[in-house]
Structure 1
């Protein structure tokens, strides 16, 4: 007996796959997908009594939860060659090994006419006890395999499975068999070079600031060439970037095609109920679009720690490490630690476990920021005339101070340092970072503590940048420096020894603190002006927050400097007002949105 899979990764199982099919390597070996979508929208959000299902229950239901096939297009191909000369009593079996991981996959047998493989009803589930008769063995079996779950930890299953095809002649008590090895496709996060298919945010729910944000965001999307309409979550958690991380898994398809599924990773924050919408909101899951709750249910995901938000998961585009020589064909994740505290093992462990670290997270220091997400000071932009095809963009306090000093030198020191827009009539937010809006350019530059903050922040930024430069080989001259200033909360102005705007104590209910831990002797900071670095890359367009800096002769000089920086990088910037919707609450445009990007890139 002979069983074949797509070992050579050309999208079909054929005789060309016979060599070394039982040996799986990163460059040769069959791949299969986690088929965890919700094709028919059948998965409920409430029980029979109308009560909401628990987090575990809503996540349990997906296309692969049972033994019925809903989406045959996501099966990895298997076939057995016709077995000749068998007796009428000979029977065959097909099973997955090792036994402890067999339940993580499903095997199906196609019993329909040729050309009708897309009809799910033509496929029959194959339990290990199913016996194929002599006629089926003589004809050869058309089979498919999919996964029920993800690889979730470096210490557990690595996604490898062996499919054994056995033929037994009971008359002579003889069994012959053959095996083929497959591995579950890694779940990969997106990088900024991938095309944006859909932009996601949160509905305004009657809030005027959010309504303004969405209106301007919609216009910026249209100007960026995005034709799909905004997808909106509901609820009061406006941080669409933070309660989930869009990801995908893919495998080779016939005729050089790519077959892929989307997997929305709920953030590792058990107390963050907005993540439930990945499972409960109509239209989020679907055929080939699933969601995963494993990180949120991990013991280390207790509470709502900001370190575990999706904004603390970004991805370097594809490169080869200059330090180790390791290739990252799908890009590499970056995350921030807070002092020495790492993100939850629920998410960090999942990312580390994918194919032995195909996007192994690179950890940077974020303990100097109030929120502490990597998207607060780092991004990546396309750069077509470079070796890598991309470059680093980074927050830069030096260039921002230069803008203000130039204005003061030219006699504009009495201009207000900020041109804050009027607050909406229904606004009742918290005080923003930094001094009041009446301070002038000269007053700001004369504030020695404020200047010291910029110097300290620039040191932390420069340390991160050097790590990225050493790792990726991006030339320093290619780095796009985006003007940005920082400030702390009203307690002590930030980066001193006081409490800052956000506390880091445990909650009264015994849950972990939302913020921190921070670096020793540091009261952390946030953006003084709305931060353009925290924006959305859509091809050669870039959507960012409007700066509301000093207005000199009718021009917002911080805004103009930001715009100039992006235009020099061949990006076309589009700006939106997020001042009262997001900025005053510690985030910007990227924080308030998310993107579903193209999944067709070949990474194997």
Structure 2
């Protein structure tokens, strides 16, 4: 008889109750790493008082409660709660190649019957990259859960939102097949590892399954070979196109998967279909079960289940402090001067310039408002993803038709037209550089949006579907600012970030009417009160510094504007952990215009210098056409003085007629795709 611990047992998972009958032989399939529980009293013949156990070397067992010390040849007293715990140490080479028997005895230790188990052991492991190093390791103990942080675990899944097709294209996530092998790199590898006999015992099978809720967010494919081709054609076929049958989807929640026999691995490819959102936390579970037949005509029952968990990668915005890759602007019939300045700036900075021509933009020049660049990332792959705003101006086709493609993803949120306002344009969507706030790190920065004032009974807001999407990404916790005081209503009209070599690595730039009045009073005191703004501009009436300083109504309007900006300043200081030394006030003047009766909102009085494009250390700033002293624009000189101390070079771009007069500036008319963060989002601590 085997000793009670027969080789010892590892820590067991997946306990399974097993029925056995005396005087019968039962064939059992056992998964290595799982445990079979046999209630000995339940399966014993009537009047049984003792039992003994024998097994082959590959079988381990323990008895609970443990029997008192006795000779290993002596039968063990049978108690009402006696349980035999059986496990297998390694996979079988052949079916029924291991055995265990339980013999029962009466009061006088006479044999009453014997229960025999024929055991077949298989190793089964559904594996993912749970330690997030780009390699699918075997049977990671943490693969069935998710934990944030550098010491965390859990696999990452990308939304397959790019398009391998460049003609009649649509996002790959909307295709129910794999058109090109290159699409596999956008998916997460999942490996089924098995070891055991050449085939499973009759009736047993492996199935992969997912819940209805999770199936709406993923699809699973596996490699397959067209069975109707001969070997030569099959080899040629696999070079150009591979057949990847669909395993799981919203229509197929469960499907049998092959057991290959021997020592084998089968790859599966998991595709994300949607981003985290208000109704989806991003977590997905996929299960693999071994099913046991009971009787013909009856359903099989699961005897072992393995589970893996993925988190769908969030969409991540890129701040001005990250390295630019490509600059996007529109060409229109009237923006030659602006385009010339942008070409020179981008060429000097050493980046790519992509021009959207008028046959595509149809006169819509507001590249910033139509879209926002971001990216998605996993341990094995990343690619840029454009977020298309619900604004849907005449540029509405550009993100989809011109940007979506191989390794360039697309996502949008559709809102009811009645709900869309000017605040849904993405000049109203920015992101800060990385910050630490009260000891909490935001290594990917924080998203910034503009909304109506909290106490307003009416006003414009960014539509709920976009706000819900931004909040659900989780890794760049949004901040809401008050921007509805502006006629256009975008946060980029009064704030931006520029890189800096010291302090937190950046400065927050804020528009400041107070800074204008301070600068202009200095000019007046120095005898330059007659210096003129807008001098030399066609169709623009010049105005002197003195006239501005004497305009009490304009002063009152700018006092109001300054109070709105100061409210936002306090929010930004609190939410980004900033000091006053982290903020630079730029001299920018506003004026109020009547939008409706008794309703006034602000626009920039002269080109709004905070509405700039940031390309590394080069800044493309709206040319302000301010008053000149000794032939130099005072506003440009002040801007250079403030920026050059940070090692930043100012280039002033004439956007007056083609953008400023249409209530936008350089930033509104351009967009920048940037490199991703070095920091990996899954290492965030929550």
TM-score bracket, shorter-length normalisation = 0.7 to 0.9
State the SS of the aligned residue for 1:524: strand
Larger Rg: 2
Contact 1:218 1:230 in 2 (8 A): no
Q: Which has the higher strand share?
A: 2
Counterpart Cα distance in 1 of 2:631 and 2:238: 65
Match of 1:26 among 131, 148, 158: 148
Contact 2:510 2:585 in 1 (8 A): yes
Contact 1:111 1:122 in 2 (8 A): yes
Match of 1:105 among 218, 223, 234: 218
Counterpart Cα distance in 2 of 1:100 and 1:586: 45
Counterpart Cα distance in 2 of 1:290 and 1:457: 39
State the SS of the aligned residue for 1:157: coil
Q: How does 1:463-474 map to 2 (within 5 A)?
A: 463-474=567-578
CA deviation after TM superposition for structure 1 residue 123, in Å: 3.8
Structure 1's unaligned 5+ residue stretches are 45-60, 254-258, 424-435, 490-499, 505-520
Match of 1:5 among 113, 116, 128: 128
2:480 matches 1:363: yes
CA deviation after TM superposition for structure 1 residue 373, in Å: 0.5
Q: How many residues align?
A: 525
Counterpart Cα distance in 2 of 1:595 and 1:409: 42
Contact 1:104 1:148 in 2 (8 A): yes
Counterpart Cα distance in 1 of 2:390 and 2:262: 47
Contact 2:532 2:544 in 1 (8 A): yes
Counterpart Cα distance in 2 of 1:448 and 1:197: 46
Q: How does 1:116-127 map to 2 (within 5 A)?
A: 121=242, 123-127=244-248
Contact 2:209 2:255 in 1 (8 A): no
2:202 matches 1:62: no
2:497 matches 1:377: no
Contact 2:222 2:267 in 1 (8 A): yes
Which residue pairs with 2:651 in the alignment?
574
Q: How does 1:205-354 map to 2 (within 5 A)?
A: 207-208=333-334, 210-230=335-355, 234-253=361-380, 259-269=381-391, 272-279=393-400, 281=401, 283-293=402-412, 295=413, 297-299=414-416, 301-302=417-418, 304-322=420-438, 325-339=439-453, 340=456, 341=459, 342-354=461-473
Counterpart Cα distance in 2 of 1:311 and 1:401: 27
CA deviation after TM superposition for structure 1 residue 229, in Å: 4.3
State the SS of the aligned residue for 1:452: helix
2:206 matches 1:92: yes
Contact 1:88 1:134 in 2 (8 A): no
Match of 1:414 among 510, 513, 530: 530
Match of 1:159 among 277, 282, 296: 282
CA deviation after TM superposition for structure 1 residue 272, in Å: 3.0
Contact 1:194 1:598 in 2 (8 A): yes
| Greater relative contact order (Cα < 8 A, sep 6+) | 1
Counterpart Cα distance in 1 of 2:675 and 2:356: 16
Counterpart Cα distance in 2 of 1:419 and 1:83: 83
Which residue pairs with 1:483 in the alignment?
587
Q: How does 1:483-522 map to 2 (within 5 A)?
A: 483-489=587-593, 500=594, 502-503=595-596
Counterpart Cα distance in 2 of 1:361 and 1:268: 19
State the SS of the aligned residue for 1:398: helix
Which residue pairs with 1:58 in the alignment?
none
CA deviation after TM superposition for structure 1 residue 110, in Å: 3.6
Counterpart Cα distance in 1 of 2:161 and 2:238: 19
State the SS of the aligned residue for 1:402: helix
Contact 2:208 2:287 in 1 (8 A): yes
Which residue pairs with 1:143 in the alignment?
268
Contact 2:195 2:261 in 1 (8 A): no
State the SS of the aligned residue for 2:488: coil
Which residue pairs with 1:404 in the alignment?
520
Contact 1:543 1:575 in 2 (8 A): yes
Structure 2's unaligned 5+ residue stretches are 1-123, 226-233
Counterpart Cα distance in 2 of 1:358 and 1:268: 22
Which residue pairs with 2:602 in the alignment?
525
Deviations 1:269-328 (A, max 9, x none): 3x634223322x3x41101222223x2x223x5365111110110001122332xx5432
Counterpart Cα distance in 2 of 1:360 and 1:136: 49
2:571 matches 1:452: no
Counterpart Cα distance in 2 of 1:600 and 1:449: 46
Counterpart Cα distance in 1 of 2:354 and 2:670: 13
CA gap 1:284/1:136 in 2 versus in 1, 3 angstroms: farther
CA deviation after TM superposition for structure 1 residue 558, in Å: 1.1
CA deviation after TM superposition for structure 1 residue 333, in Å: 0.8
Counterpart Cα distance in 1 of 2:667 and 2:241: 40
CA deviation after TM superposition for structure 1 residue 203, in Å: 2.0
